[in-house]
Amino acid sequence: MSDAEDPAFEQYWADALQPKWADKSESSQRRLDWWRDAKFGMFVHWDPSSLAASEISWSKQFSDDNGEQLLDNPRPSPDLHGIREHRFWLDWFKPAVPREVYDHLHKSFYPGMFDADKFVGAAKSAGMKYLIQVTKHHNGFCMWDTKFTDFNIMATPYHRDLVVAMAQACARAGIRYGIYYSQRDWHHPDYGPERMARYNEYMSRQVEELLVKCPNIEVIFFDCEQYYPWQLWDGKKLFQMIHRLRPKIIINDRCGVPADCTTPEQSIGEYNLERDWESCMTFTGFWSWHGFQAPVIPFEECLRHLVRCAGGGGNLLMNVGPLPTGQIDPREADRLQRMGAWLATNGESIYGTRGGPFPPGDYGVSTRQGDTVYVHVLKWPEAELMLPPLAGRVIASRVLSGGSAVVQQTDAGLKIFVAPSDRQDPDTIVVLQLQRP
C-alpha cells in the first residue's frame, strides 16, 4: 500500500484540517491527553546568536549599508503572495548584527558549561513536563549534526550535537521532548520563490533526520506565519512523512493547517474549551539571551501566566534564553526554581485539570478535575467575590494552602469569602467539592 492510500494518514490529515477538537476523530482527541495534563513546558531559544546578546535571527542585519537601515532591508521571503516578512519588527530587534558577523558567530560558539542533565533538571524541578528546543531558527543554523548542510553545530569548535544531547537528557529525566523547526530560512540558498520545491525537500529531509535521530520527539513546533498556506511547504507530503515515523506526534498550527493547537505568542490565550492552545511567553520580552541589562519578569508574573493558561484551557510554554556558555540565566533559573516549589504544594490545582467551569475574569480563573473545582483568586475584588451559578451543588470548601473558605450558593451564583489571613499572594486557591463531577 502506498502512503497515498494509507487510511490512517488520510484520517490524520483530515483531523489536521479541523480546528475544533470535537470535530476530530477519537484517536486524534486522545493523542493530546498527556499534553493537556502536562500544562507547563519549557521553550529553549538557544544557538550561536546568544554570543551577540541580540535577538535570535531577527538581529541579523541584511543591509550592506551603514548598519542602521534595517527597515529598508526585508528578509528573504518565499514571497509567493507578495508578502514581505515582518518589516515592522526589524526595528525592534536591536542591536543589529552585520551579516558578516552574524553568519560567523558559530565559529566562536563553545558552550563549555552546558550540561544537558543539569539543564533538563532545571525544567524538571520547575515542574515542567515537556521541553521544546529550537533546532533551527530563521537564521538557518542547525543545532544538530545534519547531513544536509554544513551550517550546523559540527562547524563550531564545540563540535557536539546539542539536539541529541538535550533529547537524551529529557529521556533520562522523564521529560517529554519536542523540537521547534523554522520553515523560514535566511541562510539556505534555495529558500525563496524560485527554488521552493528544492527547499521543501531539504526541510522534509531535515525533519525526517531529526525524527530518526531522536526517537523521543513527541512534539513539533513549526514556525511560519498563519497566512502562509500549507501548499507552500508541500504540507501534506511533509505531514505524511512525519506521520509515517511518528503517528502520535503533536504539531502546532504554524504549518498552514490548524493541526493540534494554536500558539498565542507573548500573550495568554483566550478561554477556549473547544480548541487546544499553548501560550509561549518570555522572561525578558525577547526569545534569545539579551544580556543582563534586559529585565526578567518576577516569579509572581510567571506564576500568573501559568494559572491563567490552565484556567483558560491552555498550556504555558515558558521560554528560556540560555547564555552562550550553555547555562540558563541565573535570574531565570531562580524563577523556575520558585515555580517548582509552588507547584510542589499546589500542583493538584494545575496538572491534569481542565479550564473552567467559571470563565476567567479580573478575579482570576478556575480549573477543575472530577468533582473538584479550584478557584484561583489572583486579585480579590473590593466587594465580595461573586461567581456565576454552578449546576452542581457545592458540598465542601477550603483553602488549598490551609484555612477556610465560606461559600454561599444561591440561584444568583456563588459568593466566596476567605479571611485576609488565609489568603495567599499571588494566588489564593479555593477548593470546591461538588456533589458530582
Min. distance of Cβ 437 from ligand GLC in angstroms?
35
Q: Which is nearer to ligand GLC, 141 or 287 (CB)?
A: 287
Q: Which is nearer to ligand GLC, 54 or 409 (CB)?
A: 54
Q: Which is nearer to ligand GLC, 50 or 346 (CB)?
A: 50
Task: Report the SS3 class of residue 8.
Answer: helix
Q: Tell me the C-alpha distance between 302 and 294, whole Å.
A: 16
Listed residue (411, 404, 367, 368) closest to 386, CA to CA:
411
Listed residue (118, 32, 100, 10) closest to 61, CA to CA:
100
Q: Which is nearer to ligand GLC, 58 or 144 (CB)?
A: 58
Q: Tell me the C-alpha distance between 75 and 72, whole Å.
A: 10
Q: Which residues bind ligand GLC (CB under 6 A)?
A: 45, 223, 265, 280, 287
Listed residue (55, 57, 91) closest to 294, CA to CA:
55
The secondary element (H helix, E strand) that includes residue 171 is helix 162-173
433 DSSP 8-state letter? E
Q: Tell me the C-alpha distance between 96 and 70, whole Å.
A: 8
Min. distance of Cβ 272 from ligand GLC in angstroms?
18
Q: Which is nearer to ligand GLC, 49 or 409 (CB)?
A: 49
Cβ(429)–Cβ(375) under 8 Å?
yes
Min. distance of Cβ 266 from ligand GLC in angstroms?
8
Min. distance of Cβ 315 from ligand GLC in angstroms?
13
Min. distance of Cβ 148 from ligand GLC in angstroms?
21
Min. distance of Cβ 187 from ligand GLC in angstroms?
15
Listed residue (398, 408, 407) closest to 428, CA to CA:
398
Cβ(77)–Cβ(85) under 8 Å?
yes
Phi, psi of 315 (to 5 degrees): -110, 160
Q: Which is nearer to ligand GLC, 165 or 318 (CB)?
A: 318
Q: Which is nearer to ligand GLC, 259 or 375 (CB)?
A: 259
Listed residue (63, 60, 41) closest to 51, CA to CA:
60
Min. distance of Cβ 265 from ligand GLC in angstroms?
4
